[in-house]
Every structure is written in structure tokens, then in C-alpha cells.
Amino acid sequence: MLTTADLASFVARAAFSDIPEECLRMAKRAFLDFTGVAAAGASEEVSRVSRRALLRPGETGSCTVIGTGVKTSPPEAAFFNGIAGHALDFDDVSRIMRGHPSVAVAPAALALSEHLGLGGKALLEAYVTGIEVCHKIGAVVNNSHYEKGWHATSTIGVFGATAASAKLLGLNAEQTRHALGIAASAAAGLRRNFGTMTKPFHAGRAARSGVTAALLAREGMTAHEAALESPGGFFELYADALSDQVGDLMSRWLMLTPGLRFKKYPCCSNIHGSIDAVLELLEKERFRPEDVERIVCGVYSTVPGILTDRHPETGTQAQFSLEYCVAVALLYGKVELGDFTDEAVGRPEVRQMMPKIKMTVSEDLQSHEMSEITIVLKGGSVFSRKVAVPKGHPLNPVSDDELSAKYLSLAVPVLGARKAEESMKRIGSLENVEDVRRLTALLAVS
């Protein structure tokens, strides 16, 4: 069984020199993706609400809140950047974690790196370490953990954020074990809150709790030495069944295999295959949306319990509506950020198309990533398309050019072209950045 001591030892021993080059490349791609979505997400209502509620007038600190002129303490910067990074539901996904790892780990790593005046190598070392911890815990508790209703971005993400923070603070194995134990008591987040502002709050809370746990452990706060694996610990309480296939977890780089998935569309990843299928059929068959009589969307058995917003009224709800996203793809030939505003959700043509779309469980699909679309036209023509691996999946990855284009589309409107382009270059060679503050200065706005 994976133990708290195993993870603590892994974190304490982790070294930049041991990280494979391909893993570092993946880390820089993921960090770029996070930074872009956080810059754009900083202006979302959930981000503004959070800052209004918690920032004190005249407050200042050492850490940048991306996409704003705010500087605050490391825990609070991690909190605000985690919320912003998840506000658009456009951030990366881990299949083995069943959640969004970077949006919990990256804000914690960035805040402490900036606060301590560390360089890009230290940031990358901590970030990769945190992502690996997320994956290793996810490998043990899923799929049971997710299916119980926990939001792994928060419940597992907090351990990744803690690991990254412990690495940057230079905690030894014993201190790290205590930090992970503290994090175990901060693990929370319900999938029931999907489709609301509380979902991105989960990411911010995980990032902040990770920084806090490591800081407390550094000063001597203790926790149970086996908070994960002991009776009454995290594993027993948060999962009904644990994987017994964990023998080589500590020797594999799970960031590479199964890897990370980068989103092409700003909505729940379980919808992406259906969107891909609709867009492919539109391009191939050249039919008109007004000629559609009905659409049947075949999904994996667990997906209807995730995509519960069948009749969304807000942009946040629409991110978890298969019917809405498929209608948008069909009508406009694309799905983009502008489709997830409250105003966009009320477009008459979309509301008229949605009742024609039915989600059904398909016994032929073997995973939640697979989708099968059947479109029936009024004249009787039938078109079908099955997508096994959506675009952005590690087995069907977005290219560097596509990821760069996504970053610029998100960052330029917030940071301006010069800062966006320069920050992208610096992240691309993050290991050569001597002081992370040279990067965060580009991510702030006046």
C-alpha cells in the first residue's frame, strides 16, 4: 500500500536533475496552459467576488495575483490564482487523478517561488513533484473516490499543492509527512457543486491549504504519521475500494503516462468527444442545422451523473450541459469562451435546438472519454461518428503551436501583446529564469 511516509520521502528526495527531459517539456506546456487560463479567469465573477470578499483595503504582499495589480501573501495569492485558473473550466485534466491537477499545484508553487525569490528550476522541480503526488494518490483511490462524489481537484489536489510547497520550503521527510497529514484534514470538495462558483473555489482552496500546510509543518505543527493509510485515514474515508496495482508507483513518472490532457473547449472534458464528433460530421457531411430532426449522444455509463445540467440557465451551468454544448457546436461550427456567458446561454436558436438532443448510455463505450453521435435529418438521412480519443488527450495531443495560440488568445486581452508574448517565451525556457519574479512581473496588470 502507498503510505504517507512513501510520499514524504519521494517529495524530500525529488531533484530537478532526476526529472526526464520529456517530463520537463510537459511541465512547461502545462504551466503555460495554467497561466493563460488564470489570466483570463481573473476577470470572471467568481474571481472578483473572491477578491472583494477577502482582500483588505490597501493590502499588499510579495506574491502576484495573475491578471490583476494585486499583490498579497503566498496562501492568498495561491487561493486567488487557483480560483482564476479554474473559473473557465479550461485548465488541464488528469485521467488517473480524475481531476485538474495544475490548477491546485501551480498556484501554490508559483506563489512560494515568487515569495522566496527562487528561480525557474526550483519552480519546475516543485511543480512536477506536486503533480506526481496527485497522480500517485489518484492511482490508489480512483475510480471509487470520484464516484463517491468527491471533487478530486480539491481533495487530491491539496496533497499536490502541499508537496510542491514542501519542496520549495526545503522540508525534510519528517516535516513533509506532517504537512501531508495536515493536508489530509483540509481535503474537501463536492462534485455536487459542479456548475456553480464553488467549483473553482475548490481549486483555490486546495492551493491555499497546500501552502498553509507546508508553512505550518515548517514551524513545527504535527499530524498523524500515517494520515493517509491508517484506519480512519484519508484512504479509508474517501474511497470504498483501493487499487492494489501500486507496486511501481514511486518509480514511474505518471505525468508522462498516462499524462495530462489539455482542453480544446472551455467546458467539462466529458463533453469534448461529442463536440469533436459533431464538428467532424458538419465538415464531412455539409448538412444544415435547420435540417436536423434529432441527435442522439451516446456516452459512457458514469457520464450522465456528471453532466447533470440538462437545461442550463447560466454560463457556469452550461459548462456541464451536453445538450447545450452540442447545440452550440452544431449551430456555429465551434465552441469557445464567448459561448459560456449568461447571455449566450439564452440565445433563442440554441434553446430551440437543445430539446432535439438526447443523451443516452452506450454499452459500446469503454471509458468516459469516448462518445458516439448519431444525427438524424428531417429527410431521413442518418450520420454517425464515434470518437474514442478527443483532441487534447495524451494520445491525441494538441501541438505546441495550438497550445501557444490558446495561451495568446487568453492572455493578450488581459496582459497586452508584449507581456503575453514575453511571458510565453519565459515559460518556454522556465529552467533558465533566474528569478521567478521576472516572470510574475509580466503576469501583473496595473
| pLDDT tier for residue 135 given thresholds of 50, 70 and 90 | very high
- State the pLDDT at residue 252: 87
Answer yes or no: is 380 within a domain: yes
Q: Do the beta carbons of residue 32 and residue 277 sit within 8 Å?
A: no
**Together in a domain, 208 and 336:** no
**Together in a domain, 179 and 325:** no
Answer yes or no: is 259 within a domain: yes
What order do you get walking across the sheet with 357-361 strand by strand? 357-361, 292-299, 371-377, 382-387
Grid coordinates representing 3? 503510505
Q: Name the average pLDDT for the chain.
A: 96
- Span 363-381, average pLDDT: 91
**Together in a domain, 146 and 208:** yes
| pLDDT tier for residue 384 given thresholds of 50, 70 and 90 | very high
What b/e sequence results for 199-216 when a residue is b if at least 16 CB atoms lie within 10 Å of its CB, and e otherwise? bbbbbbbbbbbbbbbbbb
Write phi, then psi, for 261 (nearest 5 degrees): -115, 125
| pLDDT tier for residue 284 given thresholds of 50, 70 and 90 | very high
**Together in a domain, 177 and 313:** no
Q: Where among 362, 387, 412 does a domain terminate?
A: 387
- State the pLDDT at residue 57: 85
Classify residue 114 by its DSSP letter.
H
**Together in a domain, 206 and 111:** yes
Grid coordinates representing 242? 483501493
Summarised one tens digit per residue, pLDDT across range 103-126 is: 999 999 999 999 999 999 999 999
- State the pLDDT at residue 436: 98
Instruction: Please determine, for residue 202, whether its predicted confidence score (pLDDT) is greater than 80.
Output: yes
Rg, the chain, Cα only: 21
Strand 357-361 to 292-299 pairing = parallel
Residue 24's region, left for phi above 0, alpha for psi from -120 to 50, else beta, is alpha
- CA 215 to chain CA centroid, Å, is 24
Answer yes or no: is 224 within a domain: yes
Write phi, then psi, for 32 (nearest 5 degrees): -60, -45
Domain containing residue 312: CATH number:
3.30.1330.120
Instruction: Please determine, for residue 397, whether its predicted confidence score (pLDDT) is greater than 70.
Output: yes
**Together in a domain, 303 and 358:** yes
**Together in a domain, 257 and 339:** no
d(CA 134, CA 159): 7
Answer yes or no: is 258 within a domain: yes
- For the chain, percent of residues with pLDDT exceeding 70: 99
Q: Do the beta carbons of residue 80 and residue 138 sit within 8 Å?
A: no
Three-state DSSP class for residue 343: helix
**Together in a domain, 123 and 225:** yes
Summarised one tens digit per residue, pLDDT across range 328-366 is: 999 999 999 999 999 999 999 999 999 999 999 998 888
**Together in a domain, 152 and 231:** yes
- State the pLDDT at residue 368: 80
Grid coordinates representing 78? 495561491
Three-state DSSP class for residue 43: coil
**Together in a domain, 274 and 292:** yes
d(CA 262, CA 91): 7
Answer yes or no: is 20 within a domain: yes
Answer yes or no: is 148 within a domain: yes
Answer yes or no: is 392 within a domain: no
Give residue 87's domain range: 4-263+397-443
Strand 382-387 to 292-299 pairing = unpaired
**Together in a domain, 162 and 303:** no
Q: Where among 387, 412, 427 does a domain terminate?
A: 387
Q: Where among 387, 409, 435 does a domain terminate?
A: 387
Can the peptide bond before residue 107 be classed as cis, meaning omega within 30 degrees of 0?
Answer: no
Domain total in the chain: 2
- Among the residue ranges 64-73, 150-159, 361-370, the one predicted with the least confidence is 361-370
d(CA 354, CA 418): 41
Summarised one tens digit per residue, pLDDT across range 401-411 is: 999 999 999 99
**Together in a domain, 281 and 373:** yes
- State the pLDDT at residue 69: 96
Classify residue 56 by its DSSP letter.
P
| pLDDT tier for residue 249 given thresholds of 50, 70 and 90 | confident
Domain containing residue 431: CATH number:
1.10.4100.10
| pLDDT tier for residue 245 given thresholds of 50, 70 and 90 | low
- Among the residue ranges 95-99, 245-249, 390-394, the one predicted with the least confidence is 245-249
Answer yes or no: is 213 within a domain: yes
- State the pLDDT at residue 247: 64
Instruction: Please determine, for residue 246, whether its predicted confidence score (pLDDT) is greater than 70.
Output: no
Torsion angle in degrees (nearest 10) through CA of 428, 113, 22, 145? -120
